[in-house]
Amino acid sequence: MFEADPVMLSRILTGLTLAFHVIFATLGVGVPIMIALAEWMGIRRNDPHYTMLARRWARGFVITVAVGVVTGTAIGLQLSLLWPNFMQVAGQVIALPMFMEVFAFFFEAIFLGIYLYTWDRFKSKVRHFLLIIPVILGATASAFFITTVNAFMNTPQGFELVDGVMRNIQPLEAMFNPATPTKTAHVIITCYLTSAFILAMIAAWKLFRGNDHAYHKKGLHLSMVAAFIFSIGTVLIGDLSGKFLAEYQPEKLAAAEWHFETETEAPLVLGGVLNDEGEVEYALEIPYALSILAYGTPGAEVEGLNETPEDLWPPLWVHYAFDLMVFIGMYLTFISGAYLAIYKFKRHLLYNRPLLFGIIAGGPLAFVAIQSGWFYAEVGRQPWILNGLMKTAEGATQADHVGLMLILFILLYLFLGISTVLVLRGMFKKKPAEQELYERGIETRGDSA
Amino acid sequence: MTYEVLGITVLWLFLYGYLIVASIDFGAGFFHYYNKESKKDYRINKLIQRYLSPVWEITNVFLVFFFIGIVGFFPDTAYYYGSALLVPGSISIILLAIRGSYYAFNTYGAKDNRLYSFLYGATGLLIPASFTVVLTISEGGFLEVTDDRVQLQYGALFSSGYSWSVVILAIVSVLYISAMFLTYYANRAGDPQAYQLFRKYALFWSAPTIAACVLIFFTLSQHNPEHFSSMISIGWVFFLSLLFFCAAVALVYQGKYLGLAFVLVMLQYGTAWFGYGASHLPYLLYPYLTIYDGFVNEAMAIALIAAFIGGLLLLIPSLYLAMRLFLFDDEYVQGKK
């Protein structure tokens, strides 16, 4: 029975916690760099609008950091509570990156506290700006370290498994496993991209509603330029990730592409549905594209899913998650590129409504892409918790009441999610940017450049 | 010193750090709510927030450090404690999540909200109570261990005098440590009203603190005689702790050397904490798990210790900077910055 299966319930609860946490974690990694860019622009150009952007972004950021911290604490503990057998075995190897992640987070926490409470304390503006650097380093480093753990679960190495116990361990080899470079780079760049789009969304929304204050225009421009650069990075690293999968986890790539027969000149399958006979219908096929994605040449042979025994197949619905992620990634590149093109060549059309709407949509879509990307990555390695070594079912807890805990956590995340939205709305509605600029004596009321 | 002892000492030290900073934090949340409800001067709550706002996130990391560290050094603890603590551990997570986020919502959010303030005040007392389960089950007698399962015996846990006395000690300690610290902090802030109020709280909570300690000794002697007798063999440590307690309370009573008084509080808990920990060794979970049979492999132990030293080199100067800016900067403490 579904309800009584602690393995399934543990998977759902872990998935739920991570899906909720990743929203805040993504912002936690990406927003500091945007704050830094804005503050730096403010100093360089001596433009208080940018400084105000940094201040207001930082203020909203604290709220999301708080929820990120508590949900991060939750997943840290849940690893041992829900997967005690897995942690007992893998704890021998993943201890180092987890430990280092905590240090990075510690470092970030200290400097974030200092940064937020020293806005007007130093005579030199640059000195305050410097305090955000350790926040960026800490946030990015913790994303890096924790992602190496996930990379290890995909391509475990650096030990020998003897009777269920890991021996002859090389901590660094485990940490820098084949999945580490592409996975960490992909995670970090998409955090930056998503955060840039979220901030762009806010500015675009203001402009869309008819507010034409220079503050919002500068906010939009800064975040769109950043978003375009990050989206190019995302596309390039995404391509490397595909090549990594072809080499090390061909069954994951094959499941994503519904690629069953091993063949050369393999086509890429977009969309479509699988019928009862396991055939793909209504899909758009791009010839050679999968071979190019996997190995960089149209003639390359790509391993099909049929090479993997059927009981070790990942669920085939990961295809949709994969496609969704890729489509949105393309869309984000396109819309930020369109903004820049119009900015350069047709500046009088810059704030046209379809473009602004497209940018606004980019914010939530970027989050959809983050979620579907993670679901693809995680579900795509099922049934393994340690790829090729330990099945997910072997790692789960035997304890009772997992179902009850699942209900409690659903309620918690609902409660936190709703409160976060209410609080953030309240914060920025109560004091719009124009009012704050006025109160700080930066400009007179009604002024717009 | 073996790697095992070094590992557990480091972890125990961090848990001690958490005990002190989190007690200040949890107690402050409770006092904040209580003062608000009983219409005490609003400035007093401003004072509490001035201390807490820049540091609450740092406080939380001490805890994360401990539970990640213990799984790192002693992976078997993940199996035993992880299996046994699913329900109480999840409850602790939920309380922590509510507290952390509602603290932020209340402090940085749009308005001072009564419900938010209640949520973070009330959870401040429930969290230490929920954490004590870990200490309680480490004494043995509350688990049923078979080949493929570890189960917590809720009946035994809830009917045990020892487990309840640990809960009581945790709650009164939180209020006592926090009030002692805030007495010092209010005095530095030059706020006589807040100072008098916290001094009153501090003195009020000192008696139950010591009573709870006596209760712990008594119930532990019933529950785990082996551990109790090894505590007696280093009885001087606990006697020292008592002396620190008396000196701290005497200083606060006279209203002199409040900084020193808080250092004495830290020594009081430090001696008791390390005395308790040392006498519990070699067991991590009596009688199933010692520090020797659950230890991580040697290569990883060396890597962890190297990472630890590297981390400390980064953290200590940063913590020093944070403390200089927020704790030992008179103008900040007095609310002028």
Classify residue A232 as exposed, middle or buried by CB count within 10 Å of its CB (0-12, 13-18, 19+). Answer: middle
Q: Angle at which helices A48-82 and B56-73 pack, to 10 degrees?
A: 30
pLDDT of residue A1: 40
The answer on pLDDT for B38 being more than 60 is yes
In this complex, do B148 and A408 lie within 8 Å of one another by their Cβ atoms? no
The answer on pLDDT for A292 being more than 90 is no
Assess A235–B contact: CB distance below 8 Å, yes or no: no
Residue length of chain B: 337
Q: What is the mean pLDDT of chain A?
A: 87
Assess A419–B contact: CB distance below 8 Å, yes or no: yes
Assess B145–A contact: CB distance below 8 Å, yes or no: no
Among the partner-chain residues A105, A120, A399, the one whose CB lies closest to the CB of B61 is A105
pLDDT of residue B224: 80
Domain ranges of chain A: 6-262+303-437, 263-298
Condensed to tens digits (0 to 9), the pLDDT of residues B4-26 reads: 888 888 888 888 888 888 888 88
Among the partner-chain residues B84, B100, B311, the one whose CB lies closest to the CB of A66 is B100
Listing DSSP states for A210-222 in one string gives: T---HHHHHHHHH
Residues 73-102 of A with CB under 8 A from B: 73-74, 76-85, 87-93, 95-96, 98-102
pLDDT of residue B232: 83
> In this structure, what DSSP letter does residue B336 have?
-
Classify residue B316 as exposed, middle or buried by CB count within 10 Å of its CB (0-12, 13-18, 19+). Answer: exposed
Assess A15–B contact: CB distance below 8 Å, yes or no: no
Measure the CA–CA gap between A231 and A334, rounded to whole angstroms: 9
Listing DSSP states for B123-170 in one string gives: HHHHHHHHHHHHHHHHTSSSEEEETTEEEE-HHHHHT-HHHHHHHHHH
Q: Angle at which helices B225-233 and B235-254 pack, to 10 degrees?
A: 70
Chain A residues close to B83, C-beta within 8 Å? 84, 397-399
Q: What kind and span of H or E run contains A180?
A: helix A180-208
Assess A229–B contact: CB distance below 8 Å, yes or no: no
Condensed to tens digits (0 to 9), the pLDDT of residues B304-314 reads: 888 888 878 88
A416: its two tokens: 């936190």
Among the partner-chain residues B73, B97, B315, the one whose CB lies closest to the CB of A74 is B97
Task: State the sign of the Cα–Cα–Cα–Cα dihedral A172, A150, B101, B96.
Answer: negative
> Rounded to 5 degrees, what are φ and ψ at A269?
-100, 120
Q: What is the ipTM of this complex?
A: 0.84
Min Cα–Cα distance to chain A from B128, Å: 16
Min Cα–Cα distance to chain B from A134, Å: 10
> Looking at per-residue confidence, does A198 or B221 come out higher?
A198
- Tell me the CB-side half-sphere exposure of residue B275, using CA atoms within 13 A: 22
Assess B208–A contact: CB distance below 8 Å, yes or no: no
Q: What kind and span of H or E run contains B265?
A: helix B258-280
Residue length of chain A: 449
User: Which residue from B99, B283, B75 is spatially nearest to A98, judged by alpha carbons?
Assistant: B75
Chain B residues close to A134, C-beta within 8 Å? 318
Measure the CA–CA gap between B311 and A107, rounded to whole angstroms: 9
> Looking at per-residue confidence, does B90 or B299 come out higher?
B90
Ranges A254-263, A360-369, B20-29, B141-150: which has the least confidence: B141-150
Assess B159–A contact: CB distance below 8 Å, yes or no: no
Among the partner-chain residues A79, A109, A420, the one whose CB lies closest to the CB of B57 is A109
Q: How far is CA A378 from CA A14, A63, B126, B237, B330, in A?
A: 11, 28, 35, 51, 51
pLDDT of residue B159: 76
User: Residue B289 in contact with residue B27, Cβ under 8 Å?
Assistant: no
> In this structure, what DSSP letter does residue A266 have?
P
Interval A66-79 mean pLDDT? 89
- Tell me which residue range forms the domain holding B37: 3-333
Measure the CA–CA gap between B267 and B257, rounded to whole angstroms: 15
User: Which residue from A73, A134, A311 is spatially nearest to B56, judged by alpha carbons?
Assistant: A73
Share of chain A above pLDDT 90, in %: 35
Measure the CA–CA gap between B167 and B155, rounded to whole angstroms: 16
Task: State the sign of the Cα–Cα–Cα–Cα dihedral A30, A36, A38, A41.
Answer: negative
pLDDT of residue A2: 47
Condensed to tens digits (0 to 9), the pLDDT of residues A333-352 reads: 999 999 999 888 888 888 88
Q: How many CB pairs under 8 A join A and B?
A: 233
CB atoms within 10 A of CB A379: 17
- 3-class DSSP state for residue A299? coil
Question: Which of A18, A117, A148 is best to mutate for the B interface (most B CBs within 10 A)?
Answer: A117
Share of chain A above pLDDT 70, in %: 98
Chain A residues close to B82, C-beta within 8 Å? 80-84, 87, 397
Residues 175-204 of A with CB under 8 A from B: none
pLDDT of residue B186: 83
Min Cα–Cα distance to chain B from A361, Å: 26
The answer on pLDDT for B96 being more than 70 is yes
Condensed to tens digits (0 to 9), the pLDDT of residues A219-264 reads: 999 999 999 999 999 999 988 888 888 888 888 888 888 888 888 8
User: Domain tally for chain B?
Assistant: 1
The answer on pLDDT for B292 being more than 70 is yes
SS (HEC) of chain B: CCHHHHHHHHHHHHHHHHHHHHHHHHHHHHHHHHHHHCCCCHHHHHHHHHHHCCCHHHHHHHHHHHHHHHHHHCHHHHHHHHHHCHHHHHHHHHHHHHHHHHHHHHHHCCCCCHHHHHHHHHHHHHHHHHHHHHHHHHCCCCEEEECCEEEECHHHHHCCHHHHHHHHHHHHHHHHHHHHHHHHHHHHCCCHHHHHHHHHHHHHHHHHHHHHHHHHHHHHHHHCHHHHHHHHHCHHHHHHHHHHHHHHHHHHHHCCCHHHHHHHHHHHHHHHHHHHHHHHCCEEECCCEECCCCCCCHHHHHHHHHHHHHHHHHHHHHHHHHHHHHCCCHHHHCCCC
Q: What are the b/e assignments for A129-139, b being 16+ CB within 10 Å?
A: bebbebbbebb
- 3-class DSSP state for residue A448? coil
Assess A118–B contact: CB distance below 8 Å, yes or no: yes
The answer on pLDDT for A42 being more than 80 is yes
